[in-house]
Amino acid sequence: MLGTFQHSRLRIELEATQGQIQSSLVQPSQFSQWLWPQRFSQGLPDELHSDLSFNSYVGPIAVHHQVTQVTDHSLHMVLSGGIDGFHEWYWGNQWVQSRLEGITALPLNLGHSLAIMRLRQYLQPSTRPST
């Protein structure tokens, strides 16, 4: 893999419940909205689960995701391809924390910060989808 080792850890407070945050992170119908313009493999299940593999695409760059764990408060994925590393999410009532590490030529910190900001915007009470 070409690139450099990069890492990013972010934690924010949100006006959302643990269940609303969980749904936005593990349901492809939701995360595909706030992670736009990132695209995802067709045929994903309603919710992510352990041992699920799928691809995401940032322009022409593909990132393979291997889900290793999903609980009521966390999501762990091993990444390969455009990013060789891992992505972990943890959440509770009114907070979410994410850690992303890997070797990549992509601007990891910038992309991670934008994703967290988009998640916050997506979960604002005025824009939140009905659950």
Helix (H) or strand (E) holding 88: strand 84-92
**Residue 80, Cβ density class (10 Å: 0-12 exposed, 13-18 middle, ≥19 buried):** middle
- pLDDT digits 0-9 by tens, 5-39: 999 999 999 999 999 999 999 999 999 999 988 99
Residue 58 lies in a domain: yes
Q: How many domains does the chain have?
A: 1
**What's the pTM?**
0.91
Residue 130 lies in a domain: no
pLDDT over 70 (residue 81): yes
Residue 127 lies in a domain: no
For residue 100, what is the domain's CATH number?
Answer: 3.30.530.20
The pLDDT of residue 59: 87
Q: Residue 64: which domain range?
A: 4-122
User: What percentage of the chain has pLDDT greater than the value 70?
Assistant: 95
CB 38 within 8 A of CB 63: no
